[in-house]
Amino acid sequence: MRRAALTAGLSATTAYAASLADVCTTSNVKAALPASGAIQGLTMIPSSVTASPVYNASSSGEVFFPDATYDYCGVTFNYTHNGRDDTVALTYWLPAPESFENRFLATGGMAYMISAGSAYLPGGVMYGAVAGTTDGGFGGSLDTVFLLANGTINYEALYSMGYHGIGEMTMVGKEFTKNFYNMTDDNKLYTYYQGCSEGGRAGWSQVQKYPQVYDGIIPGAPAIRYGQQQANHLYSNVVEQTLGYYPPSCELERIVNATIDACDSLDGKVDGVVARTDLCMLNFDLNSTIGLSYSCAASSSSGIGLGFGKRSDPASNGTVSAEGVAVASEILKGLHDSQGRRAYISYQPSASFSDAATEYNSATGEYELDIASTGGEWIVRFLELIDADNLSSLTNVTYDVLRDWMELGWKRYEDVLQTTWPDLSEFEQAGGKILTFHGESDPSIPTGSSVHFYESVRSIMYPELGYNASVDAMGDWYRLYMVPGAAHCATNDVQANGPFPQTNLAVMIDWVENGVTPTTLNATHLAGEWEGDNAQLCAWPLRPLWTENGTQFNCVYDQPSIDTWNYTFDSYKVPLY
């Protein structure tokens, strides 16, 4: 019925008699490119256009969108920045004319990449949206092009990655879409963004830098507060070095398993999922794991999704040591400087200790330091400006050095990668919506990072309102959901019964286009005992709690739990948003 209504609305200008084959041609795409001057500073390159129709394409087993079959027109073309002899390569997938629903979806990348290639484009096409991605003008992978030489930053690539690459892809894409489908000025083109990790950070960059361009943004587990976030990958290694103990992977894995076992029931449902890591933090004593026996088979890949066994570990067994627990406890505390002041946040109990992975030395039979590569590359390349992808040692790297690295990255990249501008008034006033989510057992970007940004925005934007009133006001346009048991932008093999929010774009469309506020977030069990079943996720600051022996689901307000997510970054003199 909705389809018919939409078509009727458009029929004043188009009957959409055209088929995919009719419109998916190079000449038609060339004719639809944004005109000269339509997007300030950019000129399209018509000679670069490619267009090809694809039929009966399908996706299955994805976490960010459901299974679907669809046709699309695959288009690529390039543009250049006026006054700079560069080339930026764009890719758009356009739904068949009869399936187009006046929507555009921008997508982002991961790690140091601005794009996930075409991986996320189906998530738009299946909802009648033109979906786009960009190489940012630097080939897509920032780290490899970041230095033009030792000491010389490639600022164009940096700023493209930071925000303008995706911003331009969206502005060009919107103009192109309107032309391609012959939309009139009366037809609204609903514009969305979806991405996770770096793609989540990029989503926040669009909220902050392009507040008028989007109707809805879905930043998943965002890598914001970049200066802290990237250096934080080294914190676990610095803990090991400081305490002088390098735990075998198997020992840390045992501690994680014991944590899950002990904290599972605190949420009221015994399902192997720790939906309340805050109650775990308040009630579980890691020291109780000392003496538990562990045993792991030899592995070149552990195969259980914990991020361990990347290198070949021999079979190992033993008992959890006081030293191992001390390392785990210190990691979970988060970085504090030598005066005990907080400098950053850590992962929640039940998250795997991926950053802490050690390397087995077969010559000595000992486990040794294995510098977490994302963190190491950040220090060498982005802080020391040396063209290498690894840090060779952590000699003399103390908690204070790590804190100083965090502050240096924050200051140097404050306006481009930090991505924590907390006044989102312009976006809110333009009617934009934000649906953000974060795995509660994320081992790569601390879950508390998303909570802290929510709190920064709340306190900056609603200083005159009390807590509950400001949460209510914010809920009209910005909502945060934690995903029980989930890992980093992914489900979690060791908490396989947890749900995952797979239909976020559908939920966002309903919110933006139909005014349906997602009181709870729609999710699905993608594996485990209840595979295929629906689940709902609570909106922060409400927390999940099952009653009636795990049969009744509630979202409750629990002050002591909420307080565990409240951080005071007193190691810095400037507020850390």
Q: Which residues bind Ca ion (CB under 5 A)?
A: 264, 267, 269, 271, 273
185 labelled catalytic: no
Candidates 240, 253, 264, 442: give the one binding ligand NAG (CB under 6 A).
Answer: 253
Residue 231, Cβ density class (10 Å: 0-12 exposed, 13-18 middle, ≥19 buried): buried
Q: Which does 267 bind (CB under 5 to 8 A by kind): Ca ion, ligand NAG, none?
A: Ca ion
Residue number with CB closer to ligand NAG (440 or 455): 455
Residue number with CB closer to ligand NAG (414 or 513): 513
Residue number with CB closer to ligand NAG (285 or 426): 285
Candidate list 135, 215, 337, 442, residue with the active-site label: 442
Q: Is 366 in the site for ligand NAG (CB under 6 A)?
A: no
Residue number with CB closer to Ca ion (172 or 545): 545
Residue number with CB closer to ligand NAG (355 or 455): 455
Which of 175, 166, 169, 188 shows the shortest CA–CA distance to 34? Answer: 175
Which of 295, 252, 356, 305 shows the shortest CA–CA distance to 498? Answer: 305
Q: Shortest distance, CB of residue 497 to Ca ion, whole angstroms?
A: 8
Which of 66, 118, 119 shows the shortest CA–CA distance to 92? Answer: 118
In the DSSP assignment, the letter for residue 495 is G
Candidate list 115, 488, 525, 571, residue with the active-site label: 488
Q: Is 64 in the site for ligand NAG (CB under 6 A)?
A: no
Candidates 209, 233, 254, 403: give the one binding ligand NAG (CB under 6 A).
Answer: 254
Rg for the chain (alpha carbons), in Å? Answer: 24
CA atoms 464, 470, 476, 480: torsion sign: positive
Candidates 18, 119, 465, 473: give the one binding ligand NAG (CB under 6 A).
Answer: 18
Task: Specify the stretch interacting with ligand NAG by CB under 6 A; choose among 47-55, 276-284, 420-428, 476-484.
Answer: 47-55
Q: Which does 506 bind (CB under 5 to 8 A by kind): ligand NAG, Ca ion, none?
A: ligand NAG
Task: Specify the stretch interacting with ligand NAG by CB under 6 A; choose among 233-241, 251-259, 275-283, 483-491.
Answer: 251-259
Please give the residues from 542 up to 571 whose contact with ligand NAG meets the rule CB under 6 A: 549-550, 566, 568
Residue number with CB closer to ligand NAG (296 or 474): 296
Q: Is 296 in the site for ligand NAG (CB under 6 A)?
A: yes
Q: Shortest distance, CB of residue 124 to ligand NAG, whole angstroms?
A: 14
Q: Shortest distance, CB of residue 297 to Ca ion, whole angstroms?
A: 28
Contacts of 199 (CB under 8 A, 6+ apart): 107, 108, 109, 110, 116, 120, 219, 220
442 labelled catalytic: yes
Residue number with CB closer to ligand NAG (364 or 395): 395
Q: Which does 271 bind (CB under 5 to 8 A by kind): ligand NAG, Ca ion, none?
A: Ca ion
DSSP string, 279-343: HHHHH--GGGGTT-EEEE--BSS-SSSSS--SSPBPPEEEE--HHHHHHHHHHHH--B-TTS-B-
**Chain CA centroid to CA 331, Å:** 22
Candidates 387, 400, 404, 513: give the one binding ligand NAG (CB under 6 A).
Answer: 387
Candidates 40, 56, 339, 362: give the one binding ligand NAG (CB under 6 A).
Answer: 56
Candidates 106, 320, 394, 507: give the one binding ligand NAG (CB under 6 A).
Answer: 507
Residue number with CB closer to ligand NAG (111 or 386): 386
Q: For residues 513 and 14, what is the distance between their CA atoms, to the nearest angstrom?
A: 22
Residue number with CB closer to ligand NAG (414 or 493): 493
Please give the residues from 146 up to 205 whose contact with ligand NAG meets the rule CB under 6 A: 150, 181-182
Q: For residues 65 and 500, what is the distance between their CA atoms, to the nearest angstrom?
A: 10
Q: Shortest distance, CB of residue 212 to ligand NAG, whole angstroms?
A: 26
Residue 200-229 contact track with ligand NAG, rule CB under 6 A, x = bound? ------------------------------
488 labelled catalytic: yes
What are the b/e assignments for 259-292, b being 16+ CB within 10 Å? Answer: bbbbbbebbbbebbbbbbbbbbbeebebeebbeb
Phi, psi of 343 (to 5 degrees): -110, -30
Beta bridge partners of 299: 313
380, 390 contact by CB (below 8 A): yes
Q: Which does 133 bind (CB under 5 to 8 A by kind): ligand NAG, Ca ion, none?
A: none
DSSP string, 417-442: II------HHHHHTT-EEEEEEETT-
Hey, how many other C-beta atoms are within 10 angstroms of the C-beta on 401? 16
Contacts of 495 (CB under 8 A, 6+ apart): 260, 272, 273, 274, 350, 441, 484, 485, 486
169, 132 contact by CB (below 8 A): yes
Q: For residues 433 and 479, what is the distance between their CA atoms, to the nearest angstrom?
A: 8
Q: Shortest distance, CB of residue 410 to ligand NAG, whole angstroms?
A: 21
| Helical packing angle, 249-263 and 322-333, nearest 10° | 70
Q: Shortest distance, CB of residue 506 to ligand NAG, whole angstroms?
A: 3
Residue number with CB closer to ligand NAG (140 or 210): 140
Whether the bond between 541 and the residue before it is cis, its omega within 30 degrees of 0, is yes
Q: Which does 287 bind (CB under 5 to 8 A by kind): Ca ion, ligand NAG, none?
A: ligand NAG
Candidates 1, 396, 466, 560: give the one binding ligand NAG (CB under 6 A).
Answer: 396
Q: Shortest distance, CB of residue 475 to ligand NAG, whole angstroms?
A: 15
Say how many Å lie between the first and final Cα of the chain, rounded: 45
Q: Shortest distance, CB of residue 131 to ligand NAG, whole angstroms?
A: 16
473, 458 contact by CB (below 8 A): no
DSSP string, 373-419: HHHHHIIIIIIS--S-S-----TT--HHHHHHHHHHHHHHTIIIII-
**List of residues contacting ligand NAG (CB under 6 A):** 14, 16, 18, 22-23, 47-48, 55-56, 78, 87, 89, 97, 135, 150, 181-182, 250, 253-254, 257, 285, 287, 294-296, 304, 317, 386-390, 395-396, 455, 494, 503, 506-507, 510, 522, 524, 534, 549-550, 566, 568
List the catalytic residues. 197, 442, 488
